[in-house]
Structure formats: structure tokens, C-alpha cells
Amino acid sequence: MISLLIETFVKAFVLLILVYVVARGEADYDFRKVAMVTAGIVLGCVVIEGLLFSRIGLFVLLPMAAFIVFMVMKFCWVRFWKSLLIIRSGRMAGGPKQAPHQGHLGGKRWRTRRHSQ
């Protein structure tokens, strides 16, 4: 529970920095607001992934990206193109680089054994 809170605050701080750098003149980058937006983004992405991953697979990243763009536009007062730039920058700055769902393997890759003679 504590690690989830710490992770949310770290993500909120990264989003705050990105919003400040990209849309300094027009955005609302109050840390309390950005922390709540980040918590909403995390919760919404978990729900989207849980509902849609079994149906559309890795294409679940598209509704998740659209949801993140909507949240940044609506609550941080950032324009569309700048919010796209923010989520792209966030992806490059440390966002998830693998598929969001690791399946039942727990993130481990299974290798086939080669039979040696």
C-alpha cells in the first residue's frame, strides 16, 4: 500500500515536471491537482486494461493513451497536441516499455530446453 502511494507521488512529480516544461504558460501544474490526476490515470488504466486486454490484446494501449490525453487535457488545462507530447515524453522518461499485462507467467520468460547430446 505504501509503495503504491510512493509510486503515485513519483509519477505525479514526473507529470508535474513534464507539464511545466511543455505547457508552462497555459497549464495548471499545482502538485495536489497533478497528484489527483495521476491517481485517476493509474486507476483508469487499471480498469481499462482489466476490461479490454482479453478482447483486444496489446491494442489496449490505444484506449489507455486516449484516456491519459483526456485526463491531462481536462484537468491540467493543456491543449491536445501538447498533451500528446507530454505522454510521449513520459513514455520516454520511464513509462512502461513492455506490454502492460504480463499474463500468468509473472513476467518471466520461458525458454525451451535444447537437447544436448
Per the domain annotation, does 103 fall within a domain? no
Does position 117 have pLDDT exceeding 80, yes or no? no
Q: How many domains is the chain built from?
A: 1
Q: Does some domain include residue 15?
A: yes
| DSSP codes of every residue in the chain | -HHHHHHHHHHHHHHHHHHHHHSTTT----HHHHHHHHHHHHHHHHHHHHHHHHHHGGGGHHHHHHHHHHHHHHHH---HHHHHHHHHHHHHHH---S-S--GGGTTPPP-PPPPP-
pTM over 0.85: no
Query: Which residues span the domain enclosing 25?
Result: 2-92
Percent of the chain at pLDDT exceeding 70: 77
Residue scoring higher pLDDT (94 or 1) = 1
